[in-house]
Chain A
Amino acid sequence: MSSRKYDWIGTLGTIWATAISHLPWRIRLSTTPELLQVRNLKTEFSTDQGAVTAVDEVSFSLAPGETLCLVGESGSGKSVTALSIMGLLADNGRVAGGSIRFEDQDLATLPERRLRAIRGNSIAMIFQEPMTSLNPVLTIGDQLSETMILHLGLTKAQARERVIELLTKVGIPRAAEVVDDYPHRLSGGMRQRAMIAMALSCGPKLIVADEPTTALDVTIQAQILKLIRDLSAETGTAMILITHDLGVVAEMADRVAVMYAGQVVEQADVFTLFDEPKHPYTTALMRSIPHLAGPAGERLTAISGSVPSLAQMPTGCRFHDRCPQAMDRCRDDRPELLQLNGSPDHTVRCWLYDVPVAKVLP
């Protein structure tokens, strides 16, 4: 009797839950568990000159459905970070410290066997060079169905059906014919579409894309970026997008981690980062690229010097010798990642912001 009277509460609850689960993924609820949590990642390579650290104290996290851009120049460690997550470091590389929590496992310590069950399945990767990343002697169909046969236990015939579906979905015309083609028959853009189809094939929770459009022409890049954006919105797949191009970051990212010399120097949501960049490197990077919008003829502000080599990292802040705002302390002390205004959503590795909040305010 009385229970029926309060049934509407249950109904409301159901509606509420449904509403929440249908909310656009950009709205992050504080209760959302992180999909990926990288903490103090340190990756080393052994060389003839001894061990060099390519990635040091790198931390970031990723919520389901979120797109995080790792942006940086060559030698910033962005690709090494991606390969560390995937467990695909070259033979002389190893994760020397930190943790990579994906769902409830630490990928940094997981045995190779267990990692293999995750790779291509719940974490997939897209590489930069569509020309060389596909095997030239195997058909597109063969290379795409392999993953589904392995991880999803599909039969060859079922996998083939799925491949044709996937190729159609990523916008490859005549998918039923392309499935039997070898990669050299496809253009660069089409091959990258095939790579994306491959990454999507097992319904991953996370896609790691390493410079996926760098090798492509600008009109093809626009096509591929749009495709990636549409597909990740549709499937709710989280993504780590690695790029050197701030334009790509601005178009794709929810959040951005700026990397320099193996470290994350600034992390914020994409609008905050572009509107109020805090780290001198971020600011300098933004001033050094030419825009199409806005007035022409304004002189670019170049960053002096060049990116330090891994073997000879500057002491203190790694950017200090190129930084226009460097102070004495920057030469000797390594800055920690600081939270701006106490907010965990905008962090900066710079001594300029190591002051009590009250003092910064006017």
Chain B
Amino acid sequence: MGSYLIRRLLIGIPVLIGVTLINFLIINLAPGSPADLYLTPTSTSADVARVEAELGLDQPIFVQYFHWLTRLFHGDLGVSFQNRAPVTELIGERLGPTLLLMGTSLVIAYLVAIPIGILAARKKNSATDYSVVGASFLGISVPHFFLGLVLIYVFALELGWLPTGNMITLGRGGGFADRVNHLILPVAVLATATAANMTRYVRSSMIDAFGQDYIRTAKAKGLGRSVITSKHALRNALIPVVTVIGVDLSALIGGAIVTEQIFQWPGIGLLTIQSIGARDYAVLMGINLIAAIAVFGANLLTDIAYAVVDPRVTYA
């Protein structure tokens, strides 16, 4: 297992470098330049050149990338073009809220999805099962922005129970209850899609497990239904479920960008949207790197989890 992990991590380095290179090229392909933001209607082309030189944008694109990469190996992601703050600092202060939002959503999604999926599988082809399948289909189909706006309209504007956005109520310190209040709607949006997807996975892999010979063996032993479900079927059903957690996490990162924007949640997602608007390449590159590491880490964790739940899988 140890040597396997080391090998995986070593393979990860060139993969991550490749990802950042592709990102760098794509960002630079976009029309416009960060220098545009510094311009006033009276700026001359000499002014543009000066700003570009200051930001290092006058150099060939591969030289720029090389500079970025060299700084990266010194733990420096550069400075924001927009406000000259170090990128690491900008990302650092936004990371916490995003992790809070994504973590809570993931935990709640699984807490909802696993029992519902099991229930649907046990009552296969019943009214309960059909409602679960229908609801999860709806949950997967509805876009984040639409669900978010509906929730804001109903719970914030019409009923006035919950805040429309942000992480804390400004000027009121932001205690625990206040934070929870602000979390509810964005978590509901993010968790819905994840839970809906996961419910379908749990349901189908539980149905699959229930049809296996070893379940018949367990019944032939006289075991009760709950033991058969929780011990014999669920352990096996989790094996395919675990493999989609990595995929889920990637989808969650995408979902978080939209959700944070709708709810003005001060996380990485909001920073991303703001940086795109400002053509802040330095920040975008930093965010991309973090996202790539997160996806890479999630897949590695998936592989480890796979070996943990399935004794037949060993890595050497």
Residues of A within 8 A of B (CB): 86, 88, 115-121, 124-125, 127, 129, 132-138, 146-147, 150-151, 182, 184, 195, 198
A2 to chain B, nearest CB (A): 55
CB pair B222–A138 under 8 Å, yes or no, is no
Of residues 201 through 245 on chain B, the ones whose CB sits less than 8 Å from some CB of chain A are 212-214, 216-224, 231-232, 235-236, 239
For the complex with contacts A116-B222, A121-B222, A134-B217, 12 further pairs of A-B residues with Cβ separation under 8 Å are: A115-B222, A119-B221, A119-B222, A120-B220, A124-B220, A132-B213, A135-B232, A147-B222, A150-B222, A182-B312, A184-B312, A198-B217
Closest chain B residue, CB of each to CB of A195? B217
Instruction: Check A88/B232 contact, CB under 8 A, given A134-B214, A136-B214, A137-B309.
Output: no
Chain A residues near B232 (CB-CB < 8 A)? 135, 138
Query: Does B311 interact with chain A (Cβ within 8 Å)?
Result: yes
Report, as a range, how many residues of chain B touch the other chain: 20 to 34
Query: Does B310 interact with chain A (Cβ within 8 Å)?
Result: yes
CB pair B217–A138 under 8 Å, yes or no, is no
Q: In the complex the two chains form, what is the Cα distance from A3 to B231 in whole Å? A: 64
Q: In the complex the two chains form, what is the Cα distance from A182 to B310 in whole Å? A: 10
CB pair A119–B213 under 8 Å, yes or no, is no
B227 to chain A, nearest CB (A): 8
Q: In the complex the two chains form, what is the Cα distance from A120 to B219 in whole Å? A: 8
Can you report 20 A-B residue pairs in the complex whose CB atoms are below 8 A from each other? A88-B216, A88-B219, A88-B220, A115-B222, A116-B222, A117-B222, A119-B219, A119-B220, A119-B221, A120-B220, A121-B222, A124-B221, A125-B217, A127-B213, A133-B217, A136-B311, A137-B236, A137-B309, A137-B311, A184-B312
Q: In the complex the two chains form, what is the Cα distance from A322 to B231 in whole Å? A: 48
Chain B residues near A132 (CB-CB < 8 A)? 212-214
B63 to chain A, nearest CB (A): 54
Q: In the complex the two chains form, what is the Cα distance from A129 to B235 in whole Å? A: 21
Q: In the complex the two chains form, what is the Cα distance from A146 to B216 in whole Å? A: 15
Of residues 259 through 316 on chain B, the ones whose CB sits less than 8 Å from some CB of chain A are 309-312
**Closest A-B pairs by Cβ, 6 of them:** A120-B221, A119-B222, A120-B222, A132-B213, A135-B214, A182-B311
CB pair A116–B224 under 8 Å, yes or no, is yes
CB pair B213–A138 under 8 Å, yes or no, is no
Chain B residues near A115 (CB-CB < 8 A)? 222
CB pair A137–B222 under 8 Å, yes or no, is no
Closest chain B residue, CB of each to CB of A199? B220
CB pair A138–B235 under 8 Å, yes or no, is yes
Residues of B within 8 A of A (CB): 212-214, 216-224, 231-232, 235-236, 239, 309-312
Q: In the complex the two chains form, what is the Cα distance from A15 to B213 in whole Å? A: 49
Q: In the complex the two chains form, what is the Cα distance from A247 to B223 in whole Å? A: 35
Chain A residues near B224 (CB-CB < 8 A)? 116
Q: In the complex the two chains form, what is the Cα distance from A171 to B35 in whole Å? A: 81
Closest chain A residue, CB of each to CB of B238? A137
Instruction: Check A118/B231 contact, CB under 8 A, given A129-B213, A133-B216, A137-B309.
Output: no
A203 to chain B, nearest CB (A): 14
A121 to chain B, nearest CB (A): 6
Q: In the complex the two chains form, what is the Cα distance from A134 to B311 in whole Å? A: 13
Task: Choose from A124, A136, A198 the contact partner of B312 (Cβ within 8 Å).
Answer: A136
CB pair B221–A86 under 8 Å, yes or no, is no
Chain B residues near A195 (CB-CB < 8 A)? 217
Q: In the complex the two chains form, what is the Cα distance from A136 to B209 in whole Å? A: 11
CB pair A150–B235 under 8 Å, yes or no, is no
Chain A residues near B212 (CB-CB < 8 A)? 132
Chain A residues near B309 (CB-CB < 8 A)? 137
B230 to chain A, nearest CB (A): 12
Closest chain B residue, CB of each to CB of A184? B312
CB pair A138–B231 under 8 Å, yes or no, is yes
CB pair A146–B217 under 8 Å, yes or no, is no
Closest chain B residue, CB of each to CB of A124? B220
Q: In the complex the two chains form, what is the Cα distance from A118 to B220 in whole Å? A: 9
Task: Choose from A127, A137, A151 the contact partner of B217 (Cβ within 8 Å).
Answer: A127
Q: In the complex the two chains form, what is the Cα distance from A120 to B228 in whole Å? A: 14
A278 to chain B, nearest CB (A): 35
Q: Which of A133, A134, A151 has the most CB of B within 10 A?
A: A133
A103 to chain B, nearest CB (A): 16
Task: Choose from B222, B223, B311 the contact partner of A184 (Cβ within 8 Å).
Answer: B311
Chain A residues near B218 (CB-CB < 8 A)? 135
Closest chain A residue, CB of each to CB of B219? A88
Task: Choose from B220, B310, B311 the contact partner of A86 (Cβ within 8 Å).
Answer: B220
Task: Choose from B216, B220, B235 the contact partner of A137 (Cβ within 8 Å).
Answer: B235
Q: In the complex the two chains form, what is the Cα distance from A115 to B217 in whole Å? A: 15
